[in-house]
A and B are shown apart, each in its own frame.
Chain A
């Protein structure tokens, strides 16, 4: 169904190719998982298969690419789409029409399907992805998770022979991610070929049968049966920074069970003075109460994680704390910085250097140049000083927005989903940066769907459910509390489920797992 030989891709202006000499065969009915670090070319590979690169996006492409019997590099994208369905990386930007009904019907209309048959097909597909209740909604009003399901239905509705999915669960809470992963599995089951890029492997449940691993320089590193490849190559993959399923991580760490790791307890962060204190906080949006009666103390030197389902009010809480939304109740404390969910929204200068220097200059702080070069160094952005911030990759933009906020010297830093869409290595780098800010004596609040990240950096956890605090306490206690997690609708990832049986502190355990994975020679 898919046959790729010697594929090379170079983007104009890029010095090095993004993909080199890639071979890939996907017979009918088979599914392949593509695994690689950030920026290794996963999305580019899918875009070549979908006929987007080089026809819509300029690039120099070499080699042979046949998809459903057609040459994907020359067949017009729209014609190729008669056999191929694509879900691209940013799901909310795939919804192009005003209503869900029109959105899902769109692909059938474009194929000239008899209008009488379109309605039933739309209903069938929406039910198949668990979105039947969204049929009469407007697309602009869908939440992230709902939008992702509708986008999946819109891709599946025309019964494609080939399915290309790029991180279909990126923005979802753990429960929604599992539901969408289930829908993807069901859709891919019935004789369709599928190529899937996904970071959150533990959320997938059952992994596709075969895997293709790319090196950072865009070459094929390994290909074969998923578990076999991942287990054989586990230590090297861990070092490359790709996400791995728990079983492969244990292989990389050289142990059978998490309990076998040697865990050295790290000292608990001392709680400093309270730097931000909210009492009976209530936030309304559009007349609806989305955060209700919340008490929160942020202490210097500690990281507080906020978790909850999509739409539970996490971002609204941060906006309220930062004074950007009107609130009822009181918020007292020092100056507050906020790192927004989408870094693009926060960029305002024309070079990376100016971007970081912006805050210190405004505050008339001394030694701006030293501060800037120090921050560029610690957030691994040296070499990009003169680049336009919009030209950075997503991961680099994310680090830039953290750096630009960190140099301002706020007492409290709030971060909204700082690691979404990042590979394992950059995600850890972000986590360490936040930890370092706390260790400097600032208060840090972190919103995330990644419960493992919570275990790795947080001291305290606030669990939100429909705008109310369901629990608030030390990370070990909250993550071990079944009633709270069930009440919040948050399933634990396998690695945390396994940690609970060890009896060690969660941060120390996860650190030990990572260190052991990096220590074993490849």
Chain B
């Protein structure tokens, strides 16, 4: 865990992650609408299938920056970007959504005190993020009193594990290979870890 004040380059990195995910989220909305139509009467479950993709920035940010709060901050910034710059029809409610989802993903890492970054932590983080957003859905849309609640819960957690937790680790590792993350906690950790080959000069 890193105790220095968060640096400007880390903040900008979080902002860029948020922006690109905001942009990709927008693309995901198109996929969501398509899937919604394709699933016919079960169209409303489409959002539960894809939910993980909307939350991937949080564990990815934590993986890269390795600071408490990074997951929440990146989701909040992503929400701010969508509200202020991408004209999201959900409006400022997204700030609440981002806060809850970020907190869910963050919990998995907080439980290991931000020290472990192996697959199990990402699975845990993704599952918790899926769970947190289910709770939010219960408040917003009354999911608990609907017939499909068990389906929704299962889909949300599975989607959280796959599209949020595991995807974050896959993307983070691929990014680290390219060298753009060399000056981040992730890049430094990989340099110290003898298992990953040192970059050739």
Chain A interface residues toward B at CB < 8 A: 12-16, 56-58, 78, 350, 384, 386-388, 390-391
- Taking CB atoms, residues of chain A closer than 8 Å to B44 are none
Measured in the bound complex, the distance between the Cα atoms of B201 and A16 in whole Å is 8
Select which of A15, A57, A386, A390 is within 8 A of B183 by beta carbon: A57
> Top 10 closest A-B pairs, CB basis?
A390-B178, A391-B179, A14-B201, A13-B199, A388-B177, A15-B201, A13-B198, A388-B178, A58-B183, A12-B191
List chain A residues, Cβ under 8 A from B200. 384, 386-387, 391
7 A-B pairs in the complex with CB atoms less than 8 angstroms apart: A12-B188, A13-B191, A56-B7, A387-B200, A390-B180, A391-B179, A391-B200
**Cα–Cα distance between A15 and B201 once the two chains are bound (Å):** 6
Contacts A13-B182, A387-B200 known; 14 new A-B pairs at CB < 8 A: A12-B182, A13-B191, A13-B198, A13-B201, A56-B8, A58-B183, A350-B174, A386-B200, A388-B178, A388-B179, A390-B179, A391-B178, A391-B179, A391-B199
A333–B179 CA distance with the chains assembled, in angstroms? 40
| Chain A neighbourhood of B180, CB < 8 A | 390
Q: Is the CB of B179 within 8 A of A56?
A: no
Q: Tell me if A58 and B199 are in contact (CB < 8 A).
A: no
A-facing residues in B174-201 (Cβ within 8 Å): 174, 177-180, 182-183, 187-188, 191, 198-201
Complex Cα spacing A378 to B33, Å: 49
Give Cα A14 to B174, complex, Å: 20
Please name all residues of chain A whose beta carbon is closer than 8 Å to the beta carbon of B112 when the two chains form the complex.
none
Contact B188 A58 (CB under 8 A): yes
Q: How close is A413's CB to chain B, nearest CB, in angstroms?
A: 27
Answer whether residue B9 sits at the interface, using C-beta atoms and an 8 A cutoff. yes
Residues of A within 8 A of B9 (CB): 56
Closest chain-A Cβ to B19's Cβ sits at a distance in Å of: 13
For B7, the chain A residues whose CB sits under 8 A away are 56
Q: Mark B119-130, 1 if CB is under 8 A from A, else 0.
A: 000000000000
- B182 to A: closest C-beta gap in Å: 7
Q: Quick one: closest A residue to B174, CB to CB?
A: A350
Neighbouring B residues of A384 by C-beta, 8 Å: 200
Q: For residue B64, give the distance in angstroms from its CB to the closest CB of chain A.
A: 15
Q: How far is the CA of A268 from the CA of B47 in the complex (A)?
A: 65
Give chain A nearest CB distance to B189 CB in angstroms.
12
Q: How far is the CA of A350 from the CA of B191 in the complex (A)?
A: 19
Alpha-carbon distance between A78 and B5 when the two chains are bound, in angstroms: 14
- Cα of A388 to Cα of B188 in the assembled complex, Å: 18
Q: Give chain B residues whose Cβ lies under 8 Å from the Cβ of A388.
A: 177-179
Query: Complex: how many Å from CA A56 to CA B188?
Result: 13
Query: Known contacts A12-B191, A388-B177, A391-B178; is A56 also within 8 Å of B198 by CB?
Result: no
Instruction: Kindly state the separation between the CA atoms of A329 and B191 in the bound complex, as whole angstroms.
Output: 55
Q: Specify which of B8, B188, B200 lies most central, judged by the most chain A CB atoms within 10 Å of its CB.
A: B200
In the bound complex, how far is the Cα of B179 from the Cα of A13, in angstroms? 11
Given the complex of chains A and B, what is the CA–CA distance between A390 and B188 in angstroms? 18
Give bound CA distance, A386 to B197, whole Å.
11
- Interfacial chain B residues near A15, Cβ < 8 Å: 201
Residues of A within 8 A of B8 (CB): 56, 78
